Structure 1
Amino acid sequence: MKTKDGAPDFNAELKLKGFKVYETDVNDKVGHSYSRKDFYKINISTGKFIFHYADKSFETDKTFLFFANPRVPYSCEVIAPTQNGYTCLFAEDFLKASDRSESLQQSPLFRIGGTPILQLNQEQKKYITSIFQRMLAEQNTNYAFKDELIRNHINLIIHEALKMEPSENLTKNRSASERITAVFLELLERQFPIENVNRPLTLKTAQDYASGLSVHVNYLNSAVKEVTGKSTTTHIGDRIAHEATALLQHTDWNVSDIAYALGFEYPTYFNNFFKKKTGQIPKAIRTAVHL
């Protein structure tokens, strides 16, 4: 599968198979950036990079192993790459198909409070690289139990990483309040657009977001208020009201469906919320569109 410009369409392949392993290009000077995908990432690279992840920044100038959680925005500055690396993208459902894996969000490697960067020595680099190479070779075979074998390889990388000491080479990037606020706002935006009534909004309160970001709700509220001048709850409410307006204007869903999709237990709760936010009832928006 390829995109319009002829490049491999990794997202389409991931949706079909649940995983994708590929070799990364040393000549890509853009670096890694967060994008709207529901996949976990494990990457091995060599070079000088600065990763910005949650409220920390990690600087590395050797071979490192990076673990990315799809719920956490991150970016990476490429200072000086030295050679190719490997990346594995996978869905949590793919890894949990064996019923042996706990939630990845609870893993020290993937949760926000953990350390997603591990520096590798030469022996570790050689061993982890060999696992990626075996996954890459296996991906192209017709072996009947290929998925299970690749799951084993991914789990092996995770367990090897858990045995390593986390990197302590941390630097600050902006204030902690600015970083956690940026993560919150990106995580908020990730919940939208709502495209399916059967997949309703799950993060609805400040506590929901604080739990997802592994921080105390009071800390999140204080940081967001300090940086933006608005409360966490106000940001969430404003974004839900904006999405509600879009759904009323551009879909044929009834008001009850929209209320459910946006996480409201009863349509009356949604009506009261929407009127408080916009000064109008939902049906007024729907009626205006069809005049």
Structure 2
Amino acid sequence: MQDNKERSISEFNNELKMKGFNVFQIESDGKATRTYSRKDFYKICLTTGRSIIHYADRSFETEGTVLFFGNPHIPYSWETISTSYVGYTCLFSEAFFKASDRPESLQKSPLFKIGGTPVLKITEQEREFLNALFLRMIDEQKTDYTYKDDLIRNYINLIIHEALKLRPSENYVQHLNAASRLTSVFLELLERQFPIESIDRPLQLKTAQDYASTLAVHVNSLNRAVKEVTGKSTTSHISERIIREAKALLQHTDWNIADIAYALGFEYPSYFNNYFKRMTGTNPKTYRIGEV
């Protein structure tokens, strides 16, 4: 039974990665939404029930029907309080959404942008209209219609435009322990940058300022919170994680050192060599040969 469940989750993830899109009822979701690659996929949820959505350093208390927009670049978690919880989830990659030559980035949308408010309160009339759109996407997903991807993108656009007409939820509270929450979000975002799987997709977030900007907080606030909670600086956490990834790439890939340097965000191999030696006491070439 466990093998069948693991296979179904694996099939779900493979299908999602291949198509760049999936939509389903939350009731039949199982563990799938908790295992998809949030590093790559945007998420729109229409849900009815009571819950607390933790998004970056804020928490939204929701009851009734809400529409939620999840950005894969911002860590979030969903705490369900109701015994009954229903709705729909739509997952899609930016590549899928922009396949029809849309020039704009989803990250610039008021709904998905960093620092935005991703939770919208929905009336019963709005819920019925949005329900119908999700059901149409679910039905269309099963067809062999040649242009179904275009049609599904149009449905996603319609949901986004309907949402833009609505007022964002103001029912949010700061986490009881703001420093702890912010540190947790930073550490999760840091871990999401890895592993580095392709030379063509180099590390994007490399400094404390990069992470602070992504989380829409002042870098001093981030540094203060991380130091208070972990006893180490933000920069130390970033450096240690980059070095850990560098060691893995040196040991387990055949990439040359220049490629590894570029993949980890270094402009020149010499910068990487100096950084690696300062952090480990040896240079990358020696480490690779010795597999220390």
179, 194, 197: which one aligns with 1:195: 197
Deviation by residue 1:156-209 (Cα, 9 ceiling, x = unmatched): 111111111111221332322222221111111111111222222121122222
In structure 1, the residue matched to 2:211 is 209
Indicate the SS of the match to 1:86.
strand
Range that drifts further, 240-249 or 225-234: 225-234
Percent identity, please: 60
Which structure shows the higher helix fraction? 2
Considering only aligned residues, what root-mean-square deviation do their CA atoms show, in Å? 2.3
Contact 1:199 1:261 in 2 (8 A): yes
Q: TM-score, normalised by structure 2?
A: 0.90
Q: TM-score, normalised by structure 1?
A: 0.91
Q: Which letter does structure 2 place at the counterpart of 1:272?
A: N
After TM superposition, give the deviation of residue 27 of structure 1 in Å: 9.4
Deviation by residue 1:40-62 (Cα, 9 ceiling, x = unmatched): 01011111111111111111120
73, 76, 96: which one aligns with 1:74: 76
Alpha-carbon distance in 1 for matches of 2:84, 2:150: 33
Range that drifts further, 34-43 or 198-207: 34-43
Contact 2:49 2:86 in 1 (8 A): no
Unaligned 5+ segments in structure 1 are: none
Alpha-carbon distance in 1 for matches of 2:75, 2:62: 19
9, 14, 17: which one aligns with 1:15: 17
Alpha-carbon distance in 2 for matches of 1:178, 1:131: 39
In structure 2, the residue matched to 1:36 is 37
After TM superposition, give the deviation of residue 122 of structure 1 in Å: 0.5
Deviation by residue 1:246-278 (Cα, 9 ceiling, x = unmatched): 222222222222111111111111111011111
Change (3 A) 1:209 1:115: same
Deviation by residue 1:5-44 (Cα, 9 ceiling, x = unmatched): 445733211222111111111796x896585331001011
Contact 2:257 2:269 in 1 (8 A): yes
Indicate the SS of the match to 1:108.
coil
Unaligned 5+ segments in structure 2 are: none
In structure 2, the residue matched to 1:260 is 262
Alignment of 1:204-283 (within 5 A): 204-283=206-285
| Aligned residue pairs, count | 288
Alpha-carbon distance in 2 for matches of 1:256, 1:264: 9
In structure 2, the residue matched to 1:106 is 108
After TM superposition, give the deviation of residue 81 of structure 1 in Å: 4.5
Alpha-carbon distance in 2 for matches of 1:261, 1:101: 26
